[in-house]
Amino acid sequence: MDAGKKAEEEEGGYKMDTKLLSKDKEGRKISFSLTGATDWFANTMRRFMIEEVPTLAVEDVEFRDNSSALYDEIIAHRLGLIPIKTDLRSYNLPEECSCKGKGCAKCQLKMILKAKSQGIVFAEEIKSKDPKCKPVYPKMPITKLLKGQSLQAEMTAVMGKGKVHTKWSPCFVWYRGWPQLNPGKNADLKACVDQCPVLELSGTNLKITDISKWNESYEEICEKNGVTVTNSKIDFIFNIESWGQLDAKDIVKEAVKIFQNKLDDFTKQLK
């Protein structure tokens, strides 16, 4: 490859493309390839997904009664961390809402918890005013009640961003440069294929059969057998694990929209 072409490649001169590599049944975990990009672009996308895509989370709790062993503050903290199914079309961020942040049905969701039976109080006991938006995992424990104890609280969930508090973050994202396998003179390709179930021999080269299952341990095996592994700076594999508030695919779509809006804002400011 000549220097000019390499420079162009490093500048992201190629057309950007994405392809879905794997997806779980619930749509909470996906991995996709991002090719012809740059490392700063990949990292910007990662940060937007984690910090900018908004979700619903409990922000205020009013206790009517709490005779459990846990203090109000601890229970409020636990309630804040319960992922709530979020409908991005029905709810606005308070600062972008027509109520100007005062609080209304378009930026807030009221929920009630009333528990008085002995045993563990689970997230499924929280009653939401919006049936679409309720705790994602019914069996998340909140506290334990002994005989005669009770817990009663009214909660307000609001839309927010992960950069303000991690309870609003919708997912965990990581990416890596696409692995490039370069066999050295004395490389033992057969040993590589034998020890890595996702590798096969294609002529005198190694080929990865399922990139979504590729990981560092395979890289170590290859290195031990004389194959140098480098990671591309323009092609990436993205993995997204949603905490449940939003589908992984919607998180990516929303992050792209946020990126676009920020660029539009920037262009306006320049003018």
**Minimum CB separation from Zn ion for residue 157, in Å?**
13
**Minimum CB distance to Zn ion smaller for 7 or for 104:** 104
Q: Cβ closer to Zn ion: 106 or 110? A: 106
What is the radius of gyration, based on Cα positions, of the chain? 24
Minimum CB separation of residue 103 from Zn ion in Å reads 6
Quick check: 196 and 218 in contact, CB under 8 A?
yes
Least CB distance to Zn ion at residue 158 (A): 9
Provide, rounded to whole angstroms, the least separation between the CB of residue 128 and Zn ion: 17
Q: Which residue lies nearer to Zn ion by CB, 107 or 151?
A: 107
Positions that interact with Zn ion (CB under 5 A): 97, 99, 104, 106-107
Q: What is the DSSP letter of 263?
A: H
**In whole angstroms, how close is the CB of 112 to Zn ion at the nearest point?**
20
Angle, nearest 10°, between helix axes 39-51 and 248-270? 110
Q: Measuring CA to CA, how many Å separate 172 from each of 77, 128, 198, 212, 251?
A: 20, 26, 25, 16, 11
Q: Which is nearer to Zn ion, 155 or 255 (CB)?
A: 155
User: Rounded to an integer, what distance in angstroms lies between the CA atom of residue 206 and that of residue 263?
Assistant: 41
Q: Which residue's CB is nearer to Zn ion, number 93 or number 193?
A: 93
Q: Measure the CA–CA gap between 241 and 69, rounded to whole angstroms.
A: 34
